[in-house]
Amino acid sequence: MAADSSPVRNRLINWLQDRPDDHLLRGLFAIMVTATMAVIALDYVDMLNGAGREARTSPGLTTETATPSAEPLPSRRSDERGPGILRTADNALGAPVTFELAGDGRLIATGTIVPGAADAFAAEIDKRGGYVKTVVLHSPGGSVQDALKIGRMIRDRNYNTEVMNGRYCASSCPLIFAGGVERIAGRKASIGVHQVSALTSPGSATMADGMRSAQRVSAEVQRYLRDMGVDSQVWVHAMETPANELFYFKPDELLALKLATPGAS
């Protein structure tokens, strides 16, 4: 193979070196070789980066609407803190969500929507679903993915949802509320939304991964609200509101945006 290729290589070298009248052609050829090598190098770097991304797992990537707090967040609107909002912290809100079956088929859901909460809810309704008519919410939110799953299970089971007077349903909690066939909001209930954020554990995912996840989940939320018959303006208010505040819906806004059902508020 070497003997066959040597004459070709020698002719190429002679062409490059011994024909001073072909400077332009030689220049173009050199540019083409350089560009080809650059493309190959970039492809190789992309391949390595892609392999690195595939090798990284992301168990610590959790898309939330904020880090939930037992202390209710202030209102996005300067003239209020939210309708009937709690003035003090409720320790039950900071704990992982629990489910308690009360009278009249009311399943009381209290606490933070932690990752895995949808599985816990599924297990609960597998045991007691025949008795449940309404899921009553009191939660600062948490995992958006779990909230979406719970909301769809609620709709599939034809359950109603409720946020009672003086109770708090914030962050991703209104997504669960949206799953109810009838959505009952007390006039002094505090129901509010804000932006999605992606929380990552060190070494588990990059900031860019988190942003992509947040964008993907935001699109998923909009589809979910459409499927639930809720006005997408609900999520516009969420995206316009910083994670350290909440956009609290007034009773007439809940009805206008179809987040609450007529006659239920």
pLDDT tens per residue, range 158-184? 999 999 999 999 999 999 999 999 999
At 106 the pLDDT is 97
- Domain assignment present for residue 39? The answer is yes
Rg (CA), the chain: 29
- Domain assignment present for residue 263? The answer is no
Judge if 71 and 188 occupy the same domain.
yes
Count of alpha carbons within 13 angstroms of residue 249, beta-carbon side: 32
H or E, element range at 126? helix 117-128
In angstroms, the CA 129 to CA 120 distance is 13
Pairing of strands 62-64, 197-199: antiparallel
Judge if 136 and 246 occupy the same domain.
yes
At 105 the pLDDT is 96
CA nearest to 142, candidates 210, 238, 63? 63
Instruction: Give the end of a domain, one of 39, 55, 71.
Output: 55
Full residue range of the structural domain in which residue 33 is found? 2-55
- Domain assignment present for residue 27? The answer is yes
Judge if 121 and 195 occupy the same domain.
yes
- Domain assignment present for residue 109? The answer is yes
Cα–Cα–Cα angle for 232, 226, 230, nearest 5°? 60
Domain count, the chain: 2
Judge if 25 and 42 occupy the same domain.
yes
At 218 the pLDDT is 82
Instruction: Give the end of a domain, one of 36, 55, 74.
Output: 55
Judge if 129 and 11 occupy the same domain.
no
At 58 the pLDDT is 37
Residue with tokens 């109603």: 160
- Which residue numbers in the chain have pLDDT < 50? 1-3, 15-16, 19-62, 65-66, 200-202
CA nearest to 204, candidates 113, 115, 98, 136? 115
At 9 the pLDDT is 55
Question: How many angstroms separate the first and last alpha carbons of the chain?
Answer: 85
CATH of residue 78's domain is: 3.90.226.10
- Are the C-beta atoms of 174 and 194 separated by less than 8 Å? no
Judge if 76 and 44 occupy the same domain.
no
- Are the C-beta atoms of 163 and 138 separated by less than 8 Å? yes
Judge if 11 and 80 occupy the same domain.
no
